[in-house]
Amino acid sequence: MPRNSTSVCFVFRVLLVTAFAAPLAYCPGAAAAVPNGKAIFAEHCAVCHGESGQGRSAVSSIAGPSLQAEHNEGQVLAAVEIGPSHMPSFAYVLSVPEMRSVATYVSQHIAVIPLTGGNLSDGGRLFRMYCAACHRTSVRGGALAFEDINAPALTDKSAAIIAGAIRWGPGPMPSFPPTILSDQQLASIVDYVKFSQHPPAPGGITMHFYGPSAEGFIGFMALLLLIALSMWIEKGGKG
């Protein structure tokens, strides 16, 4: 083979290898491995929230709510970074890619409870049947004499926390598996609670939604006061 042909062939091979190798060597993400969200959750989160995000009861020394209805990746990321309530912040423990990875894992793999297809009317009926005895119809909570504790108000709870608690049953609260409440019924109850957190008040002042008995008693006392005031005025204000 002529020398010129050999040189041309050699140069062609060098250019071919360079063309394929250069992009791989220059790619900024080639050397950086994607963090394993499942492993991060198992190491840092499962101790409080359970291995499958089912939550741990407040009876335990370390308690954490269920995450099985938390489909919002942004809310998970914010919780990991900020640390709401008694949850610690992981901003100085995990890197940003690690926090994003665990948030993705929670919202896409841990969150197995759907929150779709709910009906507000059915939710109200189901809530009165299963929940109002402890949390009151107005979802403002109440005293439980048989447990010597108070059922918490649901006015500041997210949809994910409500749904997770229904399935999980934290503390003395019973759990309601799909054999008792279907996913659609669960979504209906969540819709009702979210509506009742900020309901319309066409009648004016809500009196903190204490219910018809308390509101009726206040109205009755106000009526008695007006009657007494009318009698006092009739006697000329002399008592």
**pLDDT tens by residue, 58-109:** 655 567 889 999 999 999 999 999 988 788 999 999 999 999 999 999 999 9
Residue 132 has pLDDT above 80, yes or no: yes
b (16+ CB within 10 A) / e for 141-154: ebeeeeeeeebbbb
Measured distance CA(182)–CA(28) in Å, rounded: 47
Position 203 confidence tier, pLDDT thresholds 50, 70, 90: low
> What pLDDT sits at residue 113?
92
Give percent above pLDDT 70 in the chain. Answer: 75
> What pLDDT sits at residue 134?
87
As its CATH architecture, domain 37-110 has Orthogonal Bundle (1.10)
> What pLDDT sits at residue 236?
72
**Dihedral angle sign, alpha carbons of residues 210, 216, 221, 223:** positive
From residue 69, give the alpha-carbon distance in Å to each of 50, 114, 152, 160.
Answer: 14, 7, 20, 5
Give percent above pLDDT 90 in the chain. Answer: 43
Average pLDDT over residues 131-140: 86
Query: Which regions of 23-179 does DSSP assign to beta strands (E)?
Result: 142-144, 149-151
Residue 122 has pLDDT above 60, yes or no: yes
> What pLDDT sits at residue 201?
66
More confident residue, 150 or 225: 225
CA atoms within 13 A on the CB side of 149: 10
For tokens 């903190």, name the residue.
Answer: 208
> What pLDDT sits at residue 216?
73
Measured distance CA(183)–CA(18) in Å, rounded: 56
Burial of 55 (0-12, 13-18, 19+ CB in 10 A): buried
Distance from the first to the final alpha carbon of the chain: 132
User: Which residues are within 8 A (CB) of 36 and not within 5 positions of it... i.e. 6 or more apart?
Assistant: 101
> Which residues on adjacent β-strands are paired with residue 64?
56
Domain 120-156+165-197 carries which CATH code?
A: 1.10.760
More confident residue, 19 or 56: 56
Burial of 122 (0-12, 13-18, 19+ CB in 10 A): middle
Average pLDDT over residues 224-235: 85
More confident residue, 199 or 83: 83
CA–CA–CA angle 196, 120, 75 (5° rounding): 65
> What pLDDT sits at residue 172?
82
